[in-house]
């Protein structure tokens, strides 16, 4: 692992690492931290944390296979990624990026190339679901090392179990007053790839490959367990209620099977027989009743079937002389077998942990095409949750767009670092609630404009109303003005043609 595999974007020397200091940056990406300085060798121990990370990912995948969780995850993914044959699922918003229009056009073109490399139009649902369930997603960025200006050639998905991000903190001891304090010189970031497949053909000496940071696109859920500095997924809080729900369901099934039937109780009179003979007599009677002769009409055979039912057996009780004689009674079945309050309670708790509105659990509640005021508070919270995870998922696009623009020479890394905070992304939305809300907002804005019409030119300007009431951006205003001019010119031409025909 002494040499990096993959390409590395050339940086200015003073920009490398994180600068000097006595503290390391906050572990907000779940990377494994190792330290080493001078002639001391650094030891990378991935066993402890790697096993726990891998166990979490496997557990998340098992959870996603459960029926209730699978339905909830599908609802979340379908709400976040809306596939449309006419429009792409996501597009960049560059109105606040201070660059010329030709640069914006190049950014949009390169973003479309990235979507093509990800096959996002067809596989966007699968990509988002994999990121949501695993809490991490990795892509190997493949380029032509001899022609880096051609940009990214291919993006290959990597199983999160096989790769880990590592931060190597290089420190040196410095004397401050009478104390010796370890100072952080710089931080080296890279990835370690380990093929964990049983049938892997990779040589043992290459089981751990050190990969350059720029060669891998890595995005995570953004949720950190600060006790262990691990990245946890959105399904982490589902583990406990799901286990409780499964236990209650199993208990209900066992109780219903054992208490549902009415069973017979045989009180057998054994007289004054000794204990051993009384037990033998009781067994003989039991076997006599449990033997069952059956006739198979298709083959003409007679079978002697013995029915051994452990939970549903009858009860046989010996009764001594002096008491009542042989008696057969029945034991009533359970009377509260239809009660499901515990199961429903845990099911609601499971849906709350999945951030799914409880109303979606009740299948009898149909979709209400009413006003936006009738939308429940849970649906509003769910919509905000979708917006939040979309913003986290956009880290993939930002990283890939950065690599692509720098490799193709559209801008430098320094320029990107200045502009990237203003780059936003817009996802398609097919929720009727969003359409209804936008319609009502537009209606309210038009009503305000009608009331302000008599004050235009006196207290308010037209530009102020368009920006503050209609919320139109500079791009929208410019585009709408051009459209109005074209429509007016077209209308004048049609009027002139009509007048010529009349003459």
* Residues ≥6 apart with Cβ < 8 Å to 222: 392
Per the listing, tokens 């909830």 go with: 72
Chain centroid to CA 421: how far? Answer: 24
Per the listing, tokens 């920009």 go with: 15
Which 3 state secondary structure label does DSSP give 356? coil
> Which token pair is 446?
């038009």
> Which token pair is 393?
């998922």
User: How many Cβ atoms are within 10 Å of 187's Cβ, its own excluded?
Assistant: 19
Which 3 state secondary structure label does DSSP give 292? strand
Residue 404 is predicted with a pLDDT of 93
Chain centroid to CA 209: how far? Answer: 28
> Which token pair is 384?
């905000």
In order, the DSSP letters of 159-228 are -GGGEEEEEEEEEEEEEETTEEEEEEEEEEEEEEEE---TT--S-GGGSEEEEEGGGEEEEE-SEEETTT
159 phi/psi in degrees, rounded to 5:
-65, 125
What gap in Å lies between CA 276 and CA 61, rounded to an integer?
Answer: 58
Angle (CA) 20-24-27 rounded to 5° is: 145
* Residues ≥6 apart with Cβ < 8 Å to 307: 290, 292
Residue 287 is predicted with a pLDDT of 72
User: How many Cβ atoms are within 10 Å of 416's Cβ, its own excluded?
Assistant: 17
| Residues forming a β-bridge with 172 | 183
Cα–Cα distances in angstroms (integers) from residue 359 to residues 362, 375, 449, 461, in the given order: 6, 11, 38, 46
Per the listing, tokens 């429903």 go with: 344
Residue 10 is predicted with a pLDDT of 62
Residue 38 is predicted with a pLDDT of 39
Residue 64 is predicted with a pLDDT of 92
> Which token pair is 201?
């053909």
Angle (CA) 139-145-146 rounded to 5° is: 155
Percent of the chain that is helix, strand, coil (3-state, to 5): 50, 20, 30
Angle (CA) 382-226-385 rounded to 5° is: 10
503 residues of the chain, pLDDT tens digit each: 445 677 777 654 444 444 566 566 666 666 777 765 433 344 455 555 656 888 899 999 999 999 889 999 998 999 889 876 667 889 999 888 888 989 999 999 999 999 999 999 889 999 999 999 999 999 999 998 888 888 899 999 999 999 988 888 888 887 777 788 777 777 888 888 988 766 555 554 445 788 888 899 999 998 888 777 788 999 999 999 999 988 888 888 777 776 666 677 777 777 778 888 888 887 887 776 665 556 676 776 766 655 444 445 666 667 766 666 666 676 666 666 667 788 888 888 888 888 888 877 665 554 454 455 556 677 778 888 999 999 999 999 999 999 999 999 899 989 999 999 999 998 887 655 666 777 878 888 888 888 888 888 888 888 888 888 888 888 788 889 889 888 888 888 777 777 777 66
* Residues ≥6 apart with Cβ < 8 Å to 49: 32, 228, 230
**What burial class does residue 71 get, using C-beta atoms within 10 Å of its C-beta: 0-12 exposed, 13-18 middle, 19+ buried?**
middle
Residue 208 is predicted with a pLDDT of 77
* Residues ≥6 apart with Cβ < 8 Å to 362: none
Residue 205 is predicted with a pLDDT of 45
Residue in 354, 463, 4 with CA at minimum distance from that of residue 191? 4
Residue 395 is predicted with a pLDDT of 93
Residue in 19, 230, 207, 68 with CA at minimum distance from that of residue 136? 230
135 phi/psi in degrees, rounded to 5:
70, -5
What gap in Å lies between CA 283 and CA 218, rounded to an integer?
Answer: 70
Dihedral over Cα of 337, 341, 342, 346: its sign:
positive
């Amino acid at each position: 692992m002494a040499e990096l595999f993959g390409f590395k974007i050339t940086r200015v020397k003073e920009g490398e690492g994180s600068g000097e200091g006595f503290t390391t940056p906050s572990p907000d990406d779940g990377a494994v931290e190792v330290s080493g300085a001078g002639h001391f060798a650094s030891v990378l121990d991935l066993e402890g944390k790697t096993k726990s990370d891998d166990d979490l990912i496997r557990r998340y995948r098992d959870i996603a296979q459960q029926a209730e969780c699978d339905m909830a995850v599908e609802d979340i993914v379908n709400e976040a990624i809306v596939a449309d044959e006419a429009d792409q699922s996501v597009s960049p918003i560059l109105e606040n990026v201070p660059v010329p229009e030709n640069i914006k056009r190049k950014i949009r073109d390169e973003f479309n190339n990235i979507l093509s490399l990800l096959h996002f139009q067809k596989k966007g649902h699968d990509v988002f679901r994999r990121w949501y369930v695993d809490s991490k997603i990795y892509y190997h960025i493949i380029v032509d090392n001899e022609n880096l200006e051609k940009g990214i050639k291919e993006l290959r998905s990597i199983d999160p179990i096989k790769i880990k991000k590592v931060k190597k903190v290089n420190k040196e001891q410095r004397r401050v007053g009478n104390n010796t304090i370890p100072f952080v010189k710089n931080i080296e970031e890279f990835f370690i790839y380990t093929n964990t497949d049983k049938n892997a053909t990779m040589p043992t000496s290459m089981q751990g490959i050190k990969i350059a940071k720029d060669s891998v696109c890595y995005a995570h859920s953004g949720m950190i367990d600060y006790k262990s500095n691990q990245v946890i997924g959105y399904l982490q809080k589902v583990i406990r209620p799901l286990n409780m729900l499964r236990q209650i369901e199993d208990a209900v099934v066992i109780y219903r099977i054992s208490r549902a039937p009415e069973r017979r109780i045989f009180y057998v009179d054994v007289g004054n027989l000794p204990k051993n003979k009384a037990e033998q007599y009781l067994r003989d009677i039991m076997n006599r009743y449990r033997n069952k002769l059956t006739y198979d009409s298709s083959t003409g055979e007679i079978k002697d079937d013995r029915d051994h039912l452990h939970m549903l057996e009858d009860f046989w009780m010996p009764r001594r002389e002096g008491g009542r004689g042989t008696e057969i009674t029945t034991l009533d079945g359970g009377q509260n077998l239809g009660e499901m309050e515990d199961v429903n309670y845990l099911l609601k708790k499971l849906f709350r942990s999945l951030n799914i509105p409880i109303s979606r659990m009740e299948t009898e509640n149909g979709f209400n095409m009413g006003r936006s005021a009738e939308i429940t508070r849970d649906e509003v919270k769910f919509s905000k949750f979708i917006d939040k995870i979309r913003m986290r998922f956009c880290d993939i696009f930002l990283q890939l767009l950065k690599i692509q623009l720098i490799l193709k020479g559209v801008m430098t890394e320094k320029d990107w670092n200045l502009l990237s905070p203003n780059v936003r992304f817009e996802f398609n939305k097919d929720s009727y609630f969003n359409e209804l809300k936008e319609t009502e907002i537009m209606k309210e804005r038009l009503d305000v404009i009608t009331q302000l019409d008599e004050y235009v030119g006196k207290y308010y300007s037209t530009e102020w109303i368009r920006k503050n009431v209609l919320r139109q951006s500079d791009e929208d205003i410019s585009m709408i003005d051009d459209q109005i001019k074209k429509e007016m010119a077209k209308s004048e031409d049609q009027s002139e043609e009509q007048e010529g025909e009349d003459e």
